[in-house]
Chains A and B, each alone.
Chain A
Amino acid sequence: MENEVKLTAGAMVTLGLATAALVVLPYIQVRDVPAPEGLKPYTSAELRGRAVYIANGCVYCHTQQPRDKSFGPDAERGWGRATVPGDYTYDRPHLLGSMRTGPDLMNIGVRQPSRDWHLGHLYQPRAYVPGSIMPAYPYLFDIKDKAEPGEEALKLPPGYAPAGKVVVATPDAQDLVKYLQALNRSYPVLPPEPRDAAGAAAPAATPASAS
């Protein structure tokens, strides 16, 4: 009798410890982090675009977490400052990612603000980045004889548009581009708390960590 009790109880205790450390404590720590002032909630079009990003698994090749200078030249590549937990306040699900088959996208909206570039790049990445191994996404576009009223033909580099036809972005593609353009975490955030008394110049900026 002792054996199976020891087995189940022990198994639950070890899992409980791990859950406390990796799930509950971070939850408590992050729960009360306010959104930084510069961060706006996603608009509904951006959220729809985010859903397209998720549905097509963009996260498997692109991270959204530029790292600190001490960890790699992310900032030097123009990918932006290291992110802080507050930057992800509105992200459900999180899209931090684990792979950089392609570049980090956290600030792609700053680096590449052009809507035309994004649409064309989604239609055929190799038209803009030779050697890219990103898949083309032709199913996000319609190929027509001519654009209908209210529609806009893609401005593709010469040789990439189908002969005699025009390429028109579907609503999915337009939303996705709006989401990519909204990926902008370039607003300033508070630097980490100073370790010594040297930075006593800003008494008002003490975060409320009274507990």
Chain B
Amino acid sequence: MDSAVMSLLGAFLLSIIGLFVFIWSMRKGLLMENPRAASVIFAQGEIGKVDDPALHAGHRAQLQAAAAEPGDTLHPPDAQEISQRIEADRSSAFPVFMFVAFACLWLVLGSVAGLTASLKLHMPDWLVSEAWMTFGRIRTVHLTAVLYGWITNASLGVIVWLLPRLLRTPLMGAMWVMLGGALINVAIASGIGAIGAGWTDGMEYLEMPWQIGLFIVAGMVCIIGPVLYTLVNRKVESLYVTVWYHVAALLWITLLFLVAKLPGVHYGVQQATMNWWYGHNVLGLWFTPVSVGAIYYFLPKVIARPVRSYNLSILGFWTLAFFYAQVGGHHLVGGPVPGWLVTLSIVQSMMMIIPVAAFSINMAGTMRGRMRLALRSPTLRFMMFGGLMYMLSSVQGSFEALRSINQITHFTHFTVAHAHLGAYGFVTMVLFGAIYFMMPRVLNWEWPYPRLITLQFWLAAVGILIYFVGLSIGGWLQGEYMLDAARPFMDSVAVTLPWLKSRSLGGALMVASQIVFVGHFLAMALRFGPARTGAALFRAGAHTLEVAHGK
């Protein structure tokens, strides 16, 4: 049968099935608002009580005062639920510390490699004497270190910390999680070594040789086991939306990686489509759900108000799962692949507007009238910045998939700018915020120099904005010059040079922010700085509040 007919038929069948699922979900009452499910992240009586362990007591009282709303009644939170949470935190503390520590290590290495690669693009004769220093390898070391080393480790840390909390159950099989983390980091270290030495599978995002990739799969399996076991043995009745995002993401990334790394199966053009199926889904089905899930937890938690619409968040989850998974083919617009595949991916790219809108409307509703709290809470600031960048980068990505725009931006630095907006502006900022929230609970120690958090935020935010704006302009011009046959190709190189330099400037600010962050983390882990003991939330009496309600 003609492939176009086949894909049309497939789309038709899917729509019919989708319609039935929709009718069924209406009958089951799934579209009724469910405020109880949205409040499950709070202990009884805890709504209205702000929470940001990255602040010290005085500032937390200010945040509480700013967040107080008419009608708040302040009971002390249910002691039993709080003790469950303390127990959950304790059970995951060691694995989480391990993941975050590894993440910090790779973050520094990866961002230094990234800045080096960026400089090399306008200083092509700099550091060329050794093979491992060449652009093609340093760039790949950067990508592997930040994607697998930083984002994946930090994401695992966030997942392993949040799930026991959300399930009100201690993490079961923490030793297996540690073993899994060790395997994954062995693979990352060996993968980076292999790439430096020139041993690579040669596909973007999948450079790590498959022999090393096996360790990643084994490590992920070691982590999924305990996570699912904890999930099945949970004490909480309803699953909060973050659990949906995080558990699904763990399963997705493992299968994605496994299928993509199967040796001897993929070749030629089919391998290219597989490559982009993986390359896009690692963003869409791993980084995005982890970060979106984290925002759905931390943002309401800090401001002490449940998320506006629980059902909208679940709708966002399923539409993300369905549409994002099929987006990858748009990277091959105009390429030697079947036309139906590219069309399918472009359509799904546009459909991505639905989950993004669901998320954005929900967050705007939740934050309405409370934006000012970002002035006081670092966690909130990172989360809001990340959420905003999620909306921007996703909408940008949807339009970038359209043929008319893709024609200009494809094969240019514009795509690189877009990727960094997603991976840094959105994902990395959310992870920073999550770590600032988690670590005081994990280490029973407060952040020693809260001002560094503010400094880091501004370095990172200004850095990524310079990077993104400059490189987007440069990439767009590059694309237009390339499409103009009257101009020699070299014009498209020359026009990008000033913008490549601005990218290095933005990148340098980002590296500086990373160094501040990791330095602060080290100071905390080594118990430097002003001595403060006790995890922020649990200090006796800290929360029997002085704030008068109804003020």
A26-B341, A56-B131 given; 17 more Cβ-contact pairs under 8 Å: A4-B231, A4-B239, A8-B247, A12-B251, A14-B322, A22-B277, A27-B274, A31-B270, A68-B334, A72-B407, A73-B483, A90-B268, A93-B202, A96-B272, A98-B415, A132-B490, A136-B124
Which listed residue (A30, A65, A90, A139) contacts B129, Cβ 8 A?
A139
B271 touches A60 (CB 8 A): no
Q: Are the C-beta atoms of B326 and A101 separated by less than 8 Å? A: no
Query: Once the chains bind, are A98 and B140 in contact (CB under 8 Å)?
Result: no
- CB-contacts of A15-55 with B (<8 A): 15, 17-19, 21-23, 25-27, 29-31, 54-55
The 10 closest A-B pairs by CB, nearest first: A57-B136, A18-B325, A55-B198, A73-B485, A22-B277, A11-B248, A100-B411, A54-B202, A71-B334, A14-B321
- CB-based contact A98/B124 at 8 Å: no
State whether B318 touches A55 (Cβ < 8 A). no
- Closest Cβ–Cβ distance, residue A51 to chain B (whole Å): 8
Q: For the side of the interface on B, what is the size category?
A: 35 or more
**Structural contact, B334 and A92, CB atoms closer than 8 A:** no
Interface: B130 (CB within 8 A): yes
Shortest distance in angstroms between B39's beta carbon and chain A's nearest beta carbon?
Answer: 17
Tell whether A10 is near chain B: CB-to-CB under 8 Å.
Answer: yes
Distance of A55 Cα from B207 Cα, bound (Å): 10
- Taking the complex as formed, is B20 at the interface, i.e. its CB lies under 8 A from any CB of chain A? no
Q: Of the listed stretches A77-85, A112-120, A150-158, name the one at the interface; the rest are far from the partner chain.
A: A77-85
Indicate which residue in A8, A22, A72, A139 contacts B276 across the interface (CB closer than 8 Å).
A22
Interface string of B331-372 (1 = CB under 8 A from A): 111111110010011000000000000000000000000000
C-alpha gap A60/B416 in the complex (Å): 11
Complexed CA–CA distance, A85 and B321 (Å):
30
Residue pair A126, B124 in contact (C-beta under 8 Å): yes
Could you say which residues of chain A place their CB within 8 Å of the CB of B416? 99
Instruction: Please pick, from B140, B201, B272, the residue contacting A60 in the complex, using a CB distance under 8 A.
Output: B140
Q: How many residues of A contact B (CB 8 A)?
A: 72
User: Would you give the shortest CB distance from B145 to chain A, in whole angstroms?
Assistant: 15
Q: Which residues of A contact B122 (CB under 8 A)?
A: 133
Q: A14-B321, A100-B482, A133-B121 are in contact. Are A85 and B337 (CB under 8 A)?
A: yes
1/0 per residue, CB under 8 A from A, across B390-424: the answer is 00000000000000000100011101100000000
Q: Is B288 an interface residue (CB 8 A)?
A: no
Q: Give the chain A neighbours of B16 by CB distance below 8 A.
A: none
Give 1 or 0 for each of B294-323: 1 = CB within 8 Å of chain A CB: 000000000000000000000000100110
Complex-state Cα separation, A131 to B134, whole angstroms: 18
Per-position contact with B for A85-103: 1 when CB-CB < 8 Å, else 0?
1011111111111111111
Q: How far is the CB of B302 from chain A (nearest CB, A)?
A: 26
Q: Does A171 contact B (CB under 8 A)?
A: no
A26 and B338 contact, CB distance less than 8 A: yes
- What are the interface flags for B216-256 relative to A under an 8 Å C-beta threshold, 1 for contact and 0 otherwise? 00000000000010011000001100011001100110011
CB atoms of B335 and A94 under 8 A apart: no
Residues on B with beta carbons closer than 8 Å to the beta carbon of A84: 336
Distance, CA A73 to CA B243, complexed state (A) = 49
Residues of B480-494 at the interface with A, using a CB-CB cut-off of 8 Å, are 482-485, 489-490, 492-494
List A contacts of B497 (CB < 8 A): 133
Query: Nearest B residue to A92 by beta-carbon distance?
Result: B267
Q: List 20 A-B contacts (CB under 8 A).
A: A11-B251, A15-B256, A22-B276, A22-B328, A23-B270, A25-B341, A31-B270, A54-B200, A55-B198, A56-B131, A57-B134, A59-B204, A61-B136, A72-B407, A73-B484, A88-B269, A98-B331, A132-B490, A133-B121, A135-B120
Contact residues of B: prevailing secondary structure: helix
Q: Decide yes or no whether B1 CB sits under 8 A from chain A.
A: yes
B50 touches A (CB below 8 Å): no
Residue A63 is within 8 A (CB to CB) of chain B in the complex: yes
| Residues of chain A whose beta carbon lies under 8 Å from any beta carbon of chain B | 3-4, 7-8, 10-12, 14-15, 17-19, 21-23, 25-27, 29-31, 54-61, 63, 65, 67-68, 71-73, 76-77, 82-85, 87-103, 125-126, 129, 131-139, 211
Asked if B169 is an interface residue, CB under 8 A from chain A, the answer is: no
Residue of A nearest to B340 (CB): A25
Q: Are A18 and B326 in contact (CB under 8 A)?
A: yes
In contact, A92 and B129 (Cβ under 8 angstroms): no
Q: Is B444 an interface residue (CB 8 A)?
A: no
Q: Residues of A contacting B130 with CB < 8 Å?
A: 139
Distance A30 CA – B270 CA, assembled complex (angstroms): 7
Contact B247 A137 (CB under 8 A): no
Q: Mark B246-290, 1 if CB is under 8 A from A, else 0.
A: 011001100110010000011111111111110001000100000
Contact B338 A29 (CB under 8 A): yes
Q: Which residues of B contact A83 (CB under 8 A)?
A: 336
Chain A residue nearest to B255 (CB atoms) is A15
Q: How distant is the Cα of A102 from the Cα of B124 in the complex, in angstroms? A: 13
Q: Which of B134, B271, B332 contacts A137 (CB 8 A)?
A: B134
Whether B244 contacts A7 by the Cβ 8 Å rule is yes
How far is A102 from B251 in the complex, measured between Cα atoms in Å?
38
* A92-B268 contact, Cβ under 8 Å, with A4-B232, A8-B247: yes
Contact A134 B248 (CB under 8 A): no
> Nearest-CB distance from A79 to chain B (Å)?
9
* Cβ contact of A26, chosen from B124, B256, B273, B484, cutoff 8 A: B273
Q: Chain A nearest CB: distance from B133 CB in Å? A: 9
Q: Does B19 contact A (CB under 8 A)?
A: no
From A70, which residue of chain B is reached at the shortest CB distance? B334
CB-based nearest A residue for B251 = A11
- Residues of B187-229 at the interface with A, using a CB-CB cut-off of 8 Å, are 198-204, 228
